[in-house]
């Protein structure tokens, strides 16, 4: 996705049976990933004109994508029609930890009741890639695979409302997570996925919820400490 530039290349012939993805959704997905995986730094400005050049799309679909991301908390309206990637405050991170702890453990419990062997296999495959990214020290891959693991669990839980909240939380701490990982590398990162997988196999909702809560809290606390420390975010724009 990085550096490809324009959208829609290679899809000029439309008599294929491939389902057409609307431009506004493509822009949304691209911008969402950019925020989620830290390609945009906290405080960085996001302009409509810039996205027009970057994506080659028209103005309307870009506006739609920005509105969507804004109400999901990925972007922030800064008064004078300026849109930026929000910067985390300590107050905000406390609420995010609380939310993620609460929502993610409930999602995990739901998932434990509905999970199939195929789902477990998929989760194990993703978790193996998480491990690989950690040993390789590949921050970007870790962020993507770790998200994929949690996202898969949300999908299994099949609870749209909770999933929306969880995704919004991810979008809000994503940029800071990247900054923290960039500083610390991948060594101290949490991975309680194995415990969760064992609990999932046993279809034990309570244990699954506890394992995921542990995983979540560990990760979020690292961001919180970096925020309190302050040095990690000294280079961000304002």
Partner DNA sequence: GCCACAAAAATATGATCAAATTCTGATTAG
Partner DNA sequence: CTAATCAGAATTTGATCATATTTTTGTGGC
Binding site for a copy of itself (CB under 8 A): 24, 60, 63-65, 67-68, 70-73, 91-92, 95-96, 98-99, 102-103, 106, 159-162, 164-165, 168-169, 172
Instruction: Label the pairing between strands 82-84 and 76-78.
Output: antiparallel
In the complex with DNA, the residue whose CB is nearer, 7 or 92, is 7
Paired strand residues for 82: 78
User: 17, 80, 117, 187: which one contacts DNA (CB under 7 A)?
Assistant: 80
Instruction: Label the pairing between strands 82-84 and 45-46.
Output: antiparallel
Cα separation of 48 and 225, whole Å? 34
56: tokens are 């080659």
Q: Which does 188 bind (CB under 5 to 8 A by kind): a copy of itself, DNA, none?
A: none
The residues, ordered by sequence, that sit 6+ positions from 91 with a Cβ below 8 Å of its Cβ are: none
DSSP string, 20-32: PPPHHHHHHHHHH
In the complex with a copy of itself, the residue whose CB is nearer, 76 or 138, is 76
In the complex with DNA, the residue whose CB is nearer, 61 or 219, is 61
In the complex with a copy of itself, the residue whose CB is nearer, 96 or 181, is 96
CA atoms within 13 A on the CB side of 151: 12
In the complex with DNA, the residue whose CB is nearer, 52 or 162, is 52
Residue 123 has a CB neighbour count (10 Å cut-off) of: 22
> What string marks each residue from 9 to 38 as x (binds DNA by CB under 7 A) or -?
-----x-----x-xxx--------------
Please give the residue ranges that form the binding site for DNA (CB under 7 A): 14, 20, 22-24, 47-50, 57-61, 63, 79-83
């Amino acid at each position: 996705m990085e550096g490809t530039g324009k959208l829609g290349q290679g899809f000029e012939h439309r008599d294929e049976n491939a389902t057409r993805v609307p431009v506004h959704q493509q822009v949304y997905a691209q911008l969402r990933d950019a925020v989620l995986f830290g390609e945009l730094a906290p405080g960085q400005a996001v302009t409509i004109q810039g996205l027009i050049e970057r994506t080659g799309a028209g103005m309307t679909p870009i506006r739609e994508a920005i509105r969507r991301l804004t109400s999901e908390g990925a972007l922030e309206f800064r008064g004078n029609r300026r849109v930026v990637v929000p910067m985390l405050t300590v107050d905000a991170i406390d609420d995010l930890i609380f939310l993620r702890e609460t929502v993610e453990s409930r999602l995990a419990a739901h998932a434990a009741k509905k999970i199939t062997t195929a789902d477990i296999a998929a989760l194990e495959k993703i978790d193996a890639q998480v491990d690989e990214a950690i040993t390789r020290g590949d921050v970007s891959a870790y962020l993507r695979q770790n998200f994929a693991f949690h996202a898969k669990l949300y999908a299994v839980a099949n609870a749209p409302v909770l999933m929306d909240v969880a995704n919004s939380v991810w979008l809000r701490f994503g940029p800071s997570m990247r900054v923290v990982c960039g500083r610390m590398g991948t060594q101290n990162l949490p991975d309680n996925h194995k415990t969760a997988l064992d609990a999932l196999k046993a279809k034990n909702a309570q244990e699954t919820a506890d394992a995921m809560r542990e995983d979540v809290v560990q990760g979020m606390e690292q961001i919180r400490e970096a925020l309190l420390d302050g040095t990690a975010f000294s280079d961000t724009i304002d």
